Amino acid sequence: MQMASRRRSRSTASLPEGDHWKQVSRLGMPLVNELVIGLPDKDKFNASRPVDDGQFLHYVTNPFVPVLLNTEFGSAAIIPASPRNDLVAIFLTGVKGLNQPLNVTPGEMLRLNTSLPPTPPATQNDLGVLGGDLAGYPNGRRPYDDVVDITLRAAEGALCGAIGNCGAETSDPNNGLPYADGARAAGPDVANEHVTGEIKAGDTYLPVFPYLNTPLPGSPNGLNGVAK
């Protein structure tokens, strides 16, 4: 998990050693603070530690995003029943049998089961576990994984019953609808994804670390970029 801190604004001379910095943000599982944690507690979440995440459990078991989508789309976005034990597995404990540790302490962390072999780049599915690719998000996170699409589908119940029930519901009430524009990630290579326009996956992704090509410096139409 990544954390960011800033130096406290007041004098730190009287503070204990190691208390001169204040944590102001954290990131483990993507989009948790943006889509799961409610407005009143976003700053509190950013300043907290994963071991204390039980205090935010109600946001996971009764998420707001499905309510918002139902307001916008009506019957095209049915609100899954609560409590959302499927989301507890995704965001707080890991998925049992996939990436949940023994004697797990619930906490928002990105968990990766390193005993599972990685999927070769040419056959990775950008929907990760939702697409049947167990080496993908939420089992870790790869550059190809479309975490926005995955998180929206999961919030709408795509994994109800598969990894935890939604209240008494044991299946997806929305039948896997994407709740996005339907565009897929550029993917590992042109042979395995239909890439349109000027984007070429081979120009973006590498099969080995660091997996992403060095970006063009400056403006693509400037002195350091592509000539006009």
pLDDT (tens digit, 0 to 9) for every residue of the chain, 228 residues total?
A: 677 777 776 655 555 555 678 888 898 899 999 989 999 999 999 999 999 999 999 999 999 999 999 999 999 999 999 999 999 999 999 999 999 999 999 999 999 999 999 988 778 888 999 999 999 999 999 888 889 999 999 999 999 999 999 999 999 999 988 887 766 665 444 444 444 444 455 656 777 788 777 766 655 555 555 555
Sequence-distant contacts of 177-181: CB under 8 A, at least 24 apart: 177/76, 177/77, 177/153, 178/149, 178/152, 178/153, 179/69, 179/77, 179/149, 179/152, 179/153, 180/148, 180/149, 180/152
Same domain as 95, residue 55:
yes
Q: Quick check: is 67 in a domain?
A: yes
End-to-end C-alpha distance for the chain, whole angstroms? 42
Domain containing 53 equals 22-114+126-180
Q: Quick check: is 39 in a domain?
A: yes
pLDDT at 198 (0 to 100): 47
Q: Quick check: is 145 in a domain?
A: yes
Same domain as 138, residue 100:
yes
Rounded Cα gap, residues 222 and 22, in angstroms: 40
Same domain as 226, residue 163:
no
Same domain as 190, residue 164:
no
Same domain as 227, residue 143:
no
Same domain as 96, residue 166:
yes
Same domain as 144, residue 45:
yes
Same domain as 192, residue 175:
no
Contact between 27 and 50 (Cβ < 8 Å): no
Same domain as 131, residue 55:
yes
Same domain as 130, residue 213:
no
Q: Quick check: is 193 in a domain?
A: yes
Same domain as 193, residue 91:
no
Overall domain count for the chain: 2
Q: What are phi and psi of 221, to 5 degrees?
A: -110, 10
pTM: 0.80
pLDDT at 176 (0 to 100): 87
pLDDT at 215 (0 to 100): 66
Same domain as 165, residue 95:
yes
Q: Quick check: is 46 in a domain?
A: yes
Q: Quick check: is 94 in a domain?
A: yes
